[in-house]
């Protein structure tokens, strides 16, 4: 962040009046070199606004980092097990993807620790701590997901990191919603918002509506209502009219509200 400091200087003045001395004293902004009287703020408006914006950006970055650290520090029994045995704790559950994509051969299992899954997801907690099939067999079958997405999902539960493109972000957001991993859902949603444009806004709006992604939903809706003349002629918009007219009604209600 660029420094914004001010230094005082005296202008030549033959008056001996204290009031005149105060009025003649100026402050010089090091950033833009402008001079200001002591009765003013001591810094120029432009530098003050720039510093305030930078401060807000840093605060947001700090909050994001705090959320990530809090997620990673969530207590897991795995920590105490590892310390007590003086070595690694071996995996005790596997997750199996079933994408129905016609891939030949048996599905490849993704190994994990029950303790990690339970600590990260209330759905896994209910599944693995009770006498359910997954708890007894040590195998969790997850439908309609690719092996790559499932592997990325499990990796995120350990590291809070993921390499995203738009498709992977959508896949992980679906998994995050299904298994109630809020931190991952927010992470993917922010990524999708950053990739949002008027060309993909209709598809993104429908996806966000389906998966309760409010930030993406609101951002996409705003983009749609700003470009109604373009979007109503697009193929994906016509498909939405046929498949889910209820969403089209919501779009028009938002558009009319903005116009009014």
Q: Domain coordinates of the chain in residue numbers?
A: 6-71, 75-161
Domain 75-161 class in CATH: alpha beta
User: What's the rounded Cα separation, in Å, for the pair 27 and 173?
Assistant: 52
User: What's the rounded Cα separation, in Å, for the pair 157 and 247?
Assistant: 33
pLDDT confidence of residue 22:
47
pLDDT confidence of residue 79:
42
pLDDT confidence of residue 190:
97
pLDDT confidence of residue 237:
84
Number of CB atoms found within 10 A of residue 252's CB = 13
Predicted confidence pLDDT, tens digits, the chain (260 residues): 444 444 444 444 454 455 555 455 666 665 666 666 555 555 566 666 677 778 888 888 888 888 877 676 544 333 443 444 444 457 889 999 976 555 556 788 888 889 889 999 999 999 999 888 888 898 999 988 999 999 999 989 988 889 999 999 999 999 999 999 999 999 999 999 999 998 899 999 999 999 999 999 999 999 999 888 887 788 888 888 899 999 989 998 998 888 86
User: What's the rounded Cα separation, in Å, for the pair 135 and 179?
Assistant: 16
Helices (H), 180-244: 182-194, 201-210, 214-226, 228-231, 235-243
Q: In what order do the strands lie in the sheet with 35-37?
A: 6-10, 25-29, 35-37
pTM assigned to the model = 0.67
């Amino acid at each position: 962040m660029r420094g914004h400091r001010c230094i005082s200087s005296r202008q030549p003045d033959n008056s001996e009046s204290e009031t005149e001395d105060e009025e003649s004293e100026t402050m010089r902004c090091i950033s833009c070199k402008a001079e200001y009287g002591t009765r003013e703020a001591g810094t120029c408006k432009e530098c003050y606004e720039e510093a305030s914006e930078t401060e807000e950006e840093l605060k947001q970055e700090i909050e994001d980092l705090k959320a990530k650290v809090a997620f990673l520090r969530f207590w897991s029994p795995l920590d105490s097990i590892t310390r007590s045995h003086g070595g690694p704790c071996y995996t005790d559950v596997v997750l199996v993807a079933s994408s129905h994509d016609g891939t030949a051969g048996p599905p490849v299992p993704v190994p994990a620790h029950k303790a990690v899954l339970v600590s990260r997801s209330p759905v896994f907690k209910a599944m693995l701590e009770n006498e359910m099939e997954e708890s007894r067999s040590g195998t969790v079958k997850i439908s309609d997901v690719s092996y790559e997405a499932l592997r990325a999902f499990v990796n995120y539960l350990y590291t809070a990191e993921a390499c995203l493109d738009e498709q992977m972000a959508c896949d992980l957001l679906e998994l995050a919603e299904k298994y109630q991993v809020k931190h991952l859902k927010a992470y993917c949603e922010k990524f999708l918002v950053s990739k949002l444009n008027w060309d993909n806004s209709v598809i993104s709006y429908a996806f966000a509506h389906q998966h309760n992604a409010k930030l993406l939903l609101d951002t996409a809706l705003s983009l749609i209502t700003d470009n109604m003349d373009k979007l109503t002629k697009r193929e994906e918009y016509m498909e939405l009219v046929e498949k889910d007219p209820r969403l089209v009604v919501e779009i028009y209600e938002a558009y009319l509200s903005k116009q009014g």
